[in-house]
Amino acid sequence: MTSVRAKIVILGGGFAGLRALYRLRALGDRADIVLVDPRTTSLARPALPEVAFSGKPVEHARFPLERPVTRSGARFINRGVERIDANEQRVVFDNGETIRYDYLFVGLGAKKDYDAIGGFREFGYSICDDSEAPRLAAALAQFKGGPVVVGTAKSVWGTRVDAPMLAAPCEGPVAEIMFMVGHDLRLRGLHKSSAIRVFSPGDIFFEDVGTRVHADVGALIAREGIEVTTGKVLSHLEAGAVVFEDGDRWESALSIVLPPYRGNDVIVRSKGLGDEQGFVPTDATMRHLDFERIVAAGDATALSMPKLGHIAVMQADIASATLIRDVSGEGEIPEFRPEVFCIANRGGEQATLIYSNDFFGGPIDLTMSGAIAHMMKWGFDEYYFHTAGHLPPDLATEGLELVLRELRN
Ligand SMILES: Cc1cc2nc3c(=O)[nH]c(=O)nc-3n(C[C@H](O)[C@H](O)[C@H](O)COP(=O)(O)OP(=O)(O)OC[C@H]3O[C@@H](n4cnc5c(N)ncnc54)[C@H](O)[C@@H]3O)c2cc1C
Give DSSP secondary structure letters for 25-80.
Answer: GGGGGGEEEEEE-SSSEEE-GGGHHHHHHS---GGGGEEESHHHHHHTT-EEE---
CA dihedral 199, 201, 206, 212 (to 10 degrees): 90
Question: Ligand 1, atom 17: nearest CA belongs to which residue?
Answer: 45
**Cα torsion 207, 209, 210, 212: sign:** negative
Q: What single letter denotes the amino acid at residue 401? A: E
Instruction: Please work out whether the CB of residue 36 comes within 6 Å of at least one atom of ligand 1.
Output: yes
Sequence-separated (6 or more) residues with CB below 8 Å from residue 26: 324, 331
Name every residue whose Cβ is closer than 8 Å to that of residue 198 and which is 6 or more positions away in sequence: 149, 150, 151, 174, 178, 205, 221, 226, 227, 228, 229
The C-alpha atoms of residue 143 and residue 235 are separated, in whole angstroms, by 24
Between the CA of 169 and the centroid of ligand 1 the distance, in Å, is: 12
Residue-wise pLDDT tens digits, 152-192? 999 999 999 999 999 999 999 999 999 999 999 999 999 99
Task: Please count the other Cβ atoms lying within 10 Å of the Cβ belonging to residue 88.
Answer: 11
**3-class state of residue 57 by DSSP:** coil
Sign of CA dihedral 153, 154, 156, 162: positive
Alpha carbon nearest to ligand 1 atom 7, residue = 46
Q: Which of 40, 42, 45 to mutate to test the pocket of ligand 1 (most atoms within 8 A of CB)?
A: 45
In the three-class reduction of DSSP (H, G, I as helix; E, B as strand; rest coil), residue 396 is classed as helix
Kindly report the CATH class assigned to 6-111+262-328. alpha beta
**DSSP class of 366:** E
Predicted confidence at residue 99, as pLDDT, reads: 98
Compute, in angstroms, the gap from residue 129 CA to the centroid of ligand 1.
Answer: 9
CA 391 to mean position of chain CA atoms: 15
Q: Which amino acid is at 17?
A: G
Residues shown for the chain: 409
Residues 123 and 237: beta-carbon distance below 8 Å: yes
Provide the b/e sequence for 93-108 (b: ≥16 CB within 10 Å): beeeeebebbbbbbbb
CA distances from 224 to 47, 78, 204, 220, 294 (A): 23, 45, 19, 6, 47
CB count, 10 Å around CB of 307? 21
Q: Residue 182 carries which side chain, given as an amino acid letter?
A: G
Per-residue pLDDT tens, the chain, 409 aa: give them.
545 899 999 999 999 999 999 999 999 999 999 999 999 999 999 999 999 999 999 999 999 999 999 999 999 999 999 999 999 999 999 999 999 999 999 999 999 999 999 999 999 999 999 999 999 999 999 999 999 999 999 999 999 999 999 999 999 999 999 999 999 999 999 999 999 999 999 999 999 999 999 999 999 999 999 999 999 999 999 999 999 999 999 999 999 999 999 999 999 999 999 999 999 999 999 999 999 999 999 999 999 999 999 999 999 999 999 999 999 999 999 999 999 999 999 999 999 999 999 999 999 999 999 999 999 999 999 999 999 999 987 656 666 777 777 777 6
Question: What contacts 219, CB < 8 A, 6 or more positions away?
Answer: none
- Say whether 297 sits in a helix, a strand or coil: coil
The answer to whether 20 and 300 are in contact (CB under 8 A) is: no
Cα of 13 vs centre of ligand 1, distance in Å, is 9
